[in-house]
Structure formats: structure tokens, C-alpha cells
Amino acid sequence: MTVPQPLTIHAQQTPRALADRFAETRALSAALAEPLSDADATIQSMDDASPAKWHLAHTTWFWETFLLRDHLPGYRRWRDDWPYLFNSYYEAEGARHARSRRGMLSRPSLAEILDWRDHVTHSMMDLLDRPEHAPLIELGIAHEQQHQELLLTDIKHALFQNPLGPAMWGAPSAREPAREASGWQEHPGGIALVGHEGVDFAFDNEGPRHRVLLEPFALSSGLVSNREWHSFIDEGGYRTASLWLSDGWGWVQGEQISAPSYWREDQQFTHSGWQARDPDAPVTHISFYEADAFAAWAGARLPTEFEWEAAAQSHDPAAGNQLDDAAPPLPRGGHNLFGDCWQFTRSAYLPYPRFRTAEGAVGEYNGKFMSGQVVLKGASCATPRSHSRTSYRNFFYPHQRWQFTGLRLAKDI
């Protein structure tokens, strides 16, 4: 999760265009939750995940707290006791309900949350045409897009706990998958500029832009597939200690890991319930430990975040299999570096040179999480299409795999 650097609005970026994107973002969140019952939207399957209802409420709390409360004269909170329930981790905003107990919030109901959302969305109309609020509105849109992806991955994990394998949507319409490209994309190395260029919106962890020195390398043209992962399993990948980092081997043994999440025989669990697993689709829902072990087994390695970003300069961040609407997200494969799954790098999530945390509560968005996590690049099939950028830095702890996470191999040349 991530706060913007001071940003510049493109000449073409009019207040009305910003208002349209705000309205579209708010509408998409509601559309993603539309198939859910109140019970579906309330359950919490693990500490890393939050109920769908909480995501809808937290994003609304964000708009109410940082825009309406602070910038709309005369605005009164919908409920004075709800900020305690729906603040996430902002210490500057006071005490909050424990993250691990969000699933205990049977009330307010989903219907009450949706009423609150409508009220806040309508109230925001008085601020959307004021240029001085544009940077914070941009942040709010990006923040809600992040929670749209989290809503999808969290509810998938929750529904997976049900032995009946319930579907959130019907099976996606049949279409020919976009098969992965083969071969390697070579890069000569040298001095590369990485990080956000300072035009349009970016999170603060994407900058400042700076130089890095790269040795010659190659990046795989395709993502690792389910078929390739099956070979890793069949050849004892999960039973061969020499392939694993020490922490990873301890995790595999302690958690009795033997396959990616959501695998069962030749099936995988999806937002459409249990479906036949496409062997040629990209493997997803793996941890950093698994990605690193597979790379060792394949005689390759994971790329650094800077190698990945340098290789991605010629690719369109809006291309590939990403979320356009409320259709069920499903990895399919393709030829673009973006889409299908977030790709693990071997880079630690650390601040760039000259990074400074922003002042105020929103400064808690990113910087305080720069410890013990690894960077992922690209975008997934659950990432709203307008949300991805070459400089984007996603980050997770090494053992986490409930997101659409996969890998693309790299090697030295």
C-alpha cells in the first residue's frame, strides 16, 4: 500500500476526467461486491485477509476522513463511532479495531455500508472540481483500486474454505488462452534510470528516480506455467532441501506445502468455483520461497526489480490480462510483461535513495512497511487496468501467496 510524491496533472487531465475516474472507481467496487451475501461479505478467513464489507467501508472511511472531514466545510461524519472500526493502520487517526477481528463485525450490515458509500460518493462531488484537491483525490482512487484487488483475492480465500467450493460468478466464457511467449529477452546492462518520472500520479515508494548499474542479463519472455510447475513437483521440488532458502525449507516443512494454493489434483479453485486447471496458463498463488526454489531447480534465478523495470520500458503497462470490470479474474497467459500475475523479484522492499516519508497521517501509507518484504512487479488479472505502471512496486512477505503471485525467470549473460 502506498502516498504520492508531489505530482503533476497532465494538461489533458481535466477536473471532469478526474471526476469520471472517481465515479468509475466507486462503481466498480460496488459491482465487485454485488454477487455477495451479507454473510459472504462479513467472513474473514485469515489475518492477512479482510472481509469484503470491511474493504468497502475502509475505502469509504478514507474519502470521508482525508477529503470530506478535512476539506468540505460543514461536513459531518456519517457515524462518529465507525472510524474506530474501519481505520486500517493510521496511528495518527487514533485507536482502531484489531485487524485479526474484522470478521467479527456482523454489524453494521452490508446494506448499511452501501448506504454510507452512496452518501460519501455524493458528498465528494463538491470537491472533485477543485484543482487543489486533485493530488489527494488521485491517491484516493489508487487506494480504492488496491482494495478492489484485495477484495477479490480475500473473498477467493474465504470461499475456498467452504468444502462445497461455492462460485462467486459463473464460469468465464470459453475462449482460446493467450499462450506464453518462449525464449529470452536480452538486455545489455549498463546504467539505467529507474523509478517514477514525476509526471502524473505515483506512490511515494516509486521514487525518487535514480540510476542503477545493471550487468548484462536476460528475462524470460513468458511466465512460468502450470505445466512447468507440475514438472517441478514431479521431480521432487518440494522434497529437495538443496533448492530452498533456509527459511523457505522451514516453511515448507512446517506448513506441509506440496503445491501452489488452490490446487487439487488437476483442478484449481477460482472465483467460479473448482475448474479444470489449464496446464499452459501461468502458475499463480505461490510464495517467494516457492518462486526462488523453482528458479534454482530451473537453473535460473529471479530478476531484480531494477532488471524487470529496465526490461519493461518497451512494454505497455495497460496491456495484458488485467481487470476491466467485474468479470472473474483468471490468469490466461500472453506476451506482455504486465498482467496475469504479480511477479516476484529477488529485491528487498527498501527505500530508494533520497526517499522521504510524507508528513501527516497519509505518510503512514508506505514507508513504515519497508522491512522484511520483497518487491513484485507487473500487474495481475485482478489489478484494475489503469492502476499498473512500469515503476509500480508491490510488496509482500516471503511466505504470503493468497494474491495472484507468480514468476518470470532471469539469468546472467
Question: Do 116 and 188 share a structural domain?
Answer: no
Range of the domain at 105: 15-160
Considering the domain architecture, whether residues 326 and 369 belong to the same structural domain is answered as yes
82-90 long-range contacts (CB < 8 A, ≥24 apart) are 82/57, 82/108, 82/116, 85/57, 86/54, 86/57, 86/58, 86/60, 86/61, 87/58, 87/61, 88/58, 89/364, 90/361, 90/364
The contacts of residue 369 (CB under 8 Å, 6+ apart) are 1, 349, 395
Examine the domain organization and report whether 144 and 193 are in the same domain. no
Is 147 inside any structural domain? yes
Residues 394 and 258 in one domain: yes
> Looking at the domain assignment, is residue 100 inside a domain?
yes
pLDDT at 252: 98
Provide the total of helices (H) and of strands (E) in the chain, helices listed first: 11, 12
What's the confidence (pLDDT) of residue 319? 93
Domain presence at residue 80? yes
Q: pLDDT, tens digit, for every residue of 149-205?
A: 999 999 999 999 999 999 999 987 765 655 556 799 999 999 999 999 888 899 999
Nearest-5° Cα angle at 383, 378 to 384: 120
Instruction: Say how many domains are in the chain.
Output: 2
Averaged pLDDT, 198-216? 93
Residue 176 in domain:
no
192 and 152 share a domain?
no
Same domain, residue pair 245 and 152: no
Q: Are residues 222 and 359 in the same domain?
A: yes
**Domain final residue pick, 102, 125, 160:** 160
Judgement on whether residues 255 and 300 belong to the same structural domain of the protein = yes
Question: Is 155 in the same domain as 193?
Answer: no
Over range 198-223, report the average pLDDT.
94
172 is a domain residue: no
Does 224 lie in the same domain as 128? no
Note the pTM of the prediction, 2 decimals. Answer: 0.93
Is 311 inside a domain boundary? yes
Q: Decide: 401 and 376 in contact? Cβ < 8 Å.
A: no
The answer to whether residue 177 sits within a structural domain is no
Q: Which of 109, 144, 160 is the last residue of a domain?
A: 160
Phi, psi values for residue 106, rounded to 5°: -70, -25
- Which pLDDT tens digit goes with each residue over 113-134? 999 999 999 999 999 999 999 9
Residue 213 sits in a domain of what CATH number? 3.90.1580.10
Q: Do 196 and 150 sit in the same domain of this protein? A: no
| pLDDT per position as a tens digit, 347-376 | 999 999 999 887 766 566 667 889 999 999
Q: Are residues 155 and 195 in the same domain?
A: no
Please give the backbone phi and psi of residue 175, each rounded to the nearest 5 degrees, phi first. Answer: -155, 155
Q: What is the pLDDT of residue 255?
A: 98
The confidence score (pLDDT) of residue 356 equals 86
Q: Residue 149: its pLDDT value, please? A: 98
- Cβ neighbours, 10 Å, residue 12: 6
Residue 132 lies in a domain: yes
